Amino acid sequence: MRTVLITGATSGIGRACAVSFHKAGYAVLATGRNTAALAELKNELGDNCYTMAFDVCDETAVKHAIESIPDEFKNIDVLVNNAGLALGLEPEYEGNTHDWSEMIDTNIKGLLGMTRLIVPNMLERGQGHIINIGSVAGDAAYAGGAVYCATKAAVKAITDGLRIDLVDTPLRVTLIKPGLVETNFSNIRFHGDRDRASAVYRGIEALTAEDIADTVLYAAQAPAHVQIAEMLILATRQANGSIIIRH
């Protein structure tokens, strides 16, 4: 049985990935900060699911959690670096520096920390796949998104760099770049302002978390000689991070 570790598995794309990979026969290591949501996921998936509560930004907690993974889940075949968030949509000159730090810490440093801890074991075993969740936001900046877009551009560079560093190994590295996905993403971005969050998805059929989980699973299940380097998945009435048609 293959094992997948998914960060940010308590909601949205991460949770949908946990459900999809489990259905596809993987043992799932689901991680996140929300212990109640992790317990609910464990309850839903049952066997072959192990949950670990930690914040990817907390280096010590992450290290401790990874060291304490039970033997049957220890050999991670697929790492899905999904944990990430957007905070705020203000012009850069009015942005909140705490929001910036949290995005940079989670989206960049958290992803790097997980990669640094998990990849050496994959290399020792001569197999593994790292799938990073980037964003259309990493392709070009959009109004009010400077720092979020920068973190996702960093995820693209970090993913490409890792692929270069691992090119002479059997390991594969994939970047998945979702566009407009209707999850809790905007609610978090707008600090719980539900009206503002729901307006983001009004008048357009947005992607679902399951749509993205399908692409992550597709990349993971491609034959060993096929490396899906990058996928950009947009809503049909979306052309990029800025051009979105709402009726």
Instruction: Please give the positions annotated as active site.
Output: 148
Q: What angle do CA 86, 160, 92 make, to 5 degrees?
A: 30
Residue 157 or residue 164: which is nearer to ligand 8X3 going by CB? 157
H helices of 46-175, in order, are 59-67, 97-103, 111-125, 146-165
The interface with ligand 8X3 within residues 167-186 (CB under 6 A) comprises 179-180
Q: List for the chain the helix, strand, coil content (%; round to 5).
A: 45, 15, 40
* Window of 49-57, 120-128, 135-143, 223-231 that interacts with ligand 8X3 by CB under 6 A: 135-143
* Window of 2-10, 11-19, 93-101, 129-137 that interacts with ligand 8X3 by CB under 6 A: 129-137
What is the smallest separation between the CB atom of 195 and ligand 8X3, expressed in angstroms?
17
What would the x/- binding string for ligand 8X3 be over residues 202 to 241, using CB under 6 A?
---------------------------------------x
What is the smallest separation between the CB atom of 206 and ligand 8X3, expressed in angstroms?
10
* Window of 101-109, 112-120, 124-132, 133-141 that interacts with ligand 8X3 by CB under 6 A: 133-141
Q: Residue 53 pairs with which residues in a beta bridge? A: 32
Q: Confirm if 66 and 117 have CB atoms less than 8 A apart.
A: yes
Return phi, psi of residue 28, to 5°: -115, 125
Residue 197 touching ligand 8X3 (CB under 6 A): no
Q: Which residue number has the CB closest to ligand 8X3?
A: 135
What is the smallest separation between the CB atom of 179 and ligand 8X3, expressed in angstroms?
6
H helices of the chain, in order, are 12-23, 35-45, 59-67, 97-103, 111-125, 146-165, 185-189, 194-199, 209-221
Residue 111 or residue 137: which is nearer to ligand 8X3 going by CB? 137
Q: Nearest CA to 84 among 160, 163, 150, 173?
A: 150
Residue 28 touching ligand 8X3 (CB under 6 A): no
Residue 28 or residue 176: which is nearer to ligand 8X3 going by CB? 176
Q: CB-based burial of residue 209 (10 Å sphere; 0-12 exposed, 13-18 middle, 19+ buried)?
A: buried
Q: CB-based burial of residue 186 (10 Å sphere; 0-12 exposed, 13-18 middle, 19+ buried)?
A: buried
Give the count of residues interacting with ligand 8X3 (CB under 6 A). Answer: 6
Residue 38 or residue 136: which is nearer to ligand 8X3 going by CB? 136
Rounded Cα distance between 42 and 46, Å, is 6
Residue among 119, 136, 212, 219 that touches ligand 8X3 (CB under 6 A):
136
CA 197 centroid distance within chain? 20
The site for ligand 8X3 (CB under 6 A) is made up of 135-137, 179-180, 241
